[in-house]
Amino acid sequence: MIRLESLYTLIESSFDFLLVVDANEKTIYVSPLLKRACSPENCAASETHLADILDLESLQSFRNAMEKMHEGSRGVIALFSPQTEKSYPIPMKVGYIESVHGGIYLFFGVQVDALRRISDWEKEERVKELSCLYTVAEWIEVSASIKEFFTKLPEYLSRGMRSPDEAVVYSIFQGEEYGQKPSEDDYMSVDLIFSGENMGEIRLGYISGTHELLPEEQKMLNEIGRMLSVALERKELSERITLEQKEEEELYNRLKKLEADIDDRERELEEQKQKLSTADSYLDRVNRSWDETRHRLETMFRVIPGEVMLIDLNRNVVMSNHDDIEPGDKCYRTYFNRDTPCRDCRLGKIKRDKTPITITIRDGDKFMEVHTLPVYNQEEEVEGILEFYRDVTLEKTYEQQLQQADKLASLGQLVSGIGHEINNPNQFIRGNIKIIKQAITDMLPIVDEYREDHPDLKIARLKYDFFREHIMTLVDDMAHGSERIKGIVEGLRGFARKDEGLLVDTVDVNTLLEATTRLVKNEVHKHAEIVLELGNDLAKFTGNSQKIEQIFINLIVNAAQAIPDDRKGLITVRTFMDLSDNVVVEIEDNGKGMDEKTQRQIFDPFFTTKRAKGGTGLGLAIAFRIAEEHGGNITVSSKPGTGTKFTIRIPIRDNSAAPVSKVSN
């Protein structure tokens, strides 16, 4: 809150006279110049009544001005005339503010000694100019903005001109223009200086050059220019005071309103108390019944197998039998950890069709069977849904496994038949190639002698020298191809042979790997080359050959699939014996590799990185289980971008003491 002494000093910097009066017409402050202008000595004393200073006419002028200011009027002027034999009225502007001492009135003006020596017409003009000064000063105080002040300045400033109806006022402030420009030939102006900087200009003149501009009008304009800088500072100060007063008034009004609201609320509460006391006994009975019903409903929810959720139309969970689900949570965020509703949301379909829905949805690696029922209100409108969730992942997996087993059984029968059909003609080829090879061996010396007498001899349209050099190679290639056909057929027949699950075979790992590479060559050669580095004197062990072969097939195919499509990779298969008498098989590729998280999960059932390509996530889990059945294990080491190496270790078992166990695939 600004101090009154500072306010007095600010006003006296712009005006000669200042008289401050309280609401009881007692003086609070009198400026020094005004004291000298008052002949009575009591004018200088504080708490002097206005009736002791002013003549009757001036006293009435002051009282009228105070009444108008109290009613909120602006631009009020009072005439100050002291109680002397010769008194000249001094026009004084009136202001009103609220202070800690109550409301006070401020009367301020400038010396008008010159009024004593001029004509009545000139006095009227001077009073009019002074009135204009006061009006402009008042407009500075009450204008809401600089733009509003300069927009209406012509209306107030023209009043101080000798011919106000033809006067024009033009202003430019901070580059923005206001009002109408006067005649270029004859106008007066004043620069607007603020903080030593020229911020604009005010021009004052007439529409035409027929009126003469008076020196007094220029003086008035100069005074307005000087007053504008001071008045803007005073306006800022007044705005702060007004703002604080307004805040105090708003706070007071809010307190009053709050008190009235409290009184009204107390009456309402008393009335409600009477009504509540009447309904209290009824509500107690209803609440007891509701608690019992809710308890029964919650108990029913708890004993329902699977997970159950009651969901409203806004997808908020109302009730659930799951302890981790809080009422009010969104169903899709709570159950499926999503930020948006499910794409196949059942709520819209139920609301539209009003019929139950049962569907199977997939959530990551899980399959959920969802049975959804509509919940109706008293108007038979759907107000929510009740959903039952059941995990059917194992059922789906078993179903897929049964389908795969059925396919493999059919494939086994087909392979067995095809193997038989291929093997029969291949037996003829193998036997005949031996005869052909022996026949050619016996015939070549005879042909060599014939060649000496016939140097241009050709056989099969080939020169004899070329034929003689390559014929046995061709026969050997045919024999090798026939043997390869025999090996592939035996591998297919072994793969299709029914697995009894007994660990009774004498397993030769090197032989199994050779058969495995022949079996998977067509599938692997598109991605990588297979290099066998098989150890010598590798011990045999007792186990299940078909199951061990299944491990090799799975790991070699996986290694081929890990090779990027833009290059051909290398798969290296090594066998050796370690210091603990374990048969060790390493299958290493130079493919994409795996991060640590994938390595930790690679043997988990149903975990796969090839879900989009039809992977089930069971291959490595089954391979790991087979290794454990043989008393061994499988480990993996990998780095992203470098490759992966699977290591299989199986302990040696004595054939005579080998345990016989039945395992399921």
For the chain, domain boundaries? 1-117, 118-258, 307-391, 500-665
Per-residue pLDDT of 12-42, as tens digits, reads 766 778 888 988 889 888 888 787 766 555 5
The whole-number pLDDT of residue 170 equals 86
Confidence of residue 657 (pLDDT cuts 50, 70, 90): very low
Stretch 598-625: mean pLDDT:
70
The whole-number pLDDT of residue 118 equals 45
Stretch 128-150: mean pLDDT:
69
Q: Say whether pLDDT at 402 is over 70.
A: no
- Radius of gyration of the chain, Cα coordinates, nearest whole angstrom: 56
Find, among 53, 39, 50, 49, the residue nearest to 86 by Cα. Answer: 39
Architecture per CATH, domain 1-117, reads as 2-Layer Sandwich (3.30)
Report residue 39: phi and psi, to 5°. Answer: -75, -45
Higher pLDDT, 298 or 470: 470
**The CATH number of domain 118-258 is 3.30.450:** yes
Q: Which CATH class is domain 307-391?
A: alpha beta
Q: Say what percent of the chain tops pLDDT 90.
A: 9
Where is 597: in which H helix or E strand? Answer: helix 596-601
- DSSP per residue, 182-212: --SSSEEEEEEEETTEEEEEEEEEESSTTSP
Q: Say whether pLDDT at 76 is over 70.
A: yes
Q: Say whether pLDDT at 121 is over 50.
A: yes
Q: Which CATH class is domain 500-665?
A: alpha beta
The whole-number pLDDT of residue 583 equals 95
Q: Say whether pLDDT at 278 is over 70.
A: yes
Q: Say what percent of the chain tops pLDDT 70.
A: 74
The whole-number pLDDT of residue 184 equals 73
The whole-number pLDDT of residue 315 equals 81
Q: What is the DSSP letter of 44?
A: G
Lowest mean pLDDT among 67-71, 84-88, 426-430: 84-88
The whole-number pLDDT of residue 351 equals 78
For 290, counting Cβ atoms within 10 Å of its Cβ (0-12 exposed, 13-18 middle, 19+ buried), the class is exposed
List all residues 6 or more positions away from 549 whose beta carbon is below 8 Å from its beta carbon: 494, 495, 512, 515, 516
Give me the chain's average pLDDT, please.
77
- Is-same-fold flag (1-117; 500-665)? no
CA distances for 603 relative to 114, 399, 588, angstroms: 112, 21, 17
Per-residue pLDDT of 211-270, as tens digits, reads 777 776 777 777 777 767 665 555 555 656 777 788 888 888 888 888 888 888 888 888
